[in-house]
Structure 1
């Protein structure tokens, strides 16, 4: 399993500072890592697809490549924009070895006609961040529906699984 000393949060475009504060506080509890935050990167139109009104997640993730020169720190990009990936209508996030990207856009309860709920929103953001960081550490999707590494096909899957690893996945990253 990949060895890392910490995670760098990289806001892309306008990201609510409270989300960064939540992640800085919550990520070390589940992953035993240090967390730092960089100044925001611009959200450029280069990866925006007007006909879909979405950004291509793969392109945004590729832009994080140069931000981890030593390989000992994971990079987690955070964007408040709707994302898609090749072959998928939308994604909550995407990852590759050493770097990950999450979108907060579809994690807000208001998107689904619900009233604002900061506690639920915080849990969803943490769940997707831990899930994508798990992938960046080399974990595949897990078959256990309660594990954070279970594939989220919908927001209901994200809500059901929560931000914790199952025993097997936890062992693989320790």
Structure 2
């Protein structure tokens, strides 16, 4: 399994070591950080002052042709984003294209008026990346609030999760990885 991390526009480099470590551990994957790519102006919603996540995800799927049985794409955007009908989202994924996307904006403690906390910020990124990549393997939302596949309605929900999967989700992932490799 290989995961391509795609920085979209400007993403500060300090996050990638923790992200690579977390994703390698959960997905037993080779993780490659690619060159930064631009974002299309059409993806920006001027009324909302947010990016429309579906447009970015579609662009990733069009641009990165991958072997969906052996590869995944994770876009990282350092800007706020939404999808209908949600006011904001931390991330989005499409299992059909094996592409996912995480927004860093609302994962930063500073977004909520708190002081910078790099460790907390990086922990949130890893959890949300695991969550969105999990969806690319058709993992649904989990009822275990500690599992990374539990739905985060707030950053506090993300903080409560672990940077890993519960036993039931690990089993589902393992089963799906075996089927996809065949």
Provide the TM-score with structure 2 as the length reference. 0.90
**Secondary structure, in 3 states, of the residue corresponding to 2:87?**
strand
Contact 1:124 1:162 in 2 (8 A): no
Deviation at residue 25 of structure 1 after TM alignment: 2.6
Q: Write the distance in 2 (CA, Å) between the matches of 1:50 and 1:10.
A: 24
Unaligned runs of 5+ in 1: none
Q: Write the distance in 2 (CA, Å) between the matches of 1:78 and 1:65.
A: 14
Q: 2:67 aligns with which of 47, 66, 70?
A: 70
Q: Write the distance in 2 (CA, Å) between the matches of 1:11 and 1:81.
A: 12
Contact 1:68 1:75 in 2 (8 A): no
Q: Find runs of 4+ consecutive structure 1 residues off by over 6 angstroms.
A: none
Map 1:6-17 onto structure 2 (within 5 A).
Answer: 6-17=2-13
Q: 1:25 aligns with which of 21, 45, 58?
A: 21
Deviation at residue 79 of structure 1 after TM alignment: 0.3
Deviation at residue 43 of structure 1 after TM alignment: 1.8
Map 1:59-98 onto structure 2 (within 5 A).
Answer: 59-66=55-62, 67-71=64-68, 72-97=70-95, 98=98
Q: Write the distance in 2 (CA, Å) between the matches of 1:99 and 1:164.
A: 19
Q: Write the distance in 2 (CA, Å) between the matches of 1:25 and 1:145.
A: 22
**Secondary structure, in 3 states, of the residue corresponding to 1:100?**
strand
Contact 2:22 2:163 in 1 (8 A): no
Deviation at residue 62 of structure 1 after TM alignment: 0.5
**Secondary structure, in 3 states, of the residue corresponding to 1:170?**
helix
- Stretch of structure 1 that moved more, 159-168 or 63-72: 63-72
Q: Write the distance in 1 (CA, Å) between the matches of 2:66 and 2:165.
A: 28
**Secondary structure, in 3 states, of the residue corresponding to 2:148?**
coil
Alpha-carbon RMSD across the aligned residues, in angstroms, is 1.0
Map 1:26-65 onto structure 2 (within 5 A).
Answer: 26-65=22-61
Deviation at residue 75 of structure 1 after TM alignment: 0.2
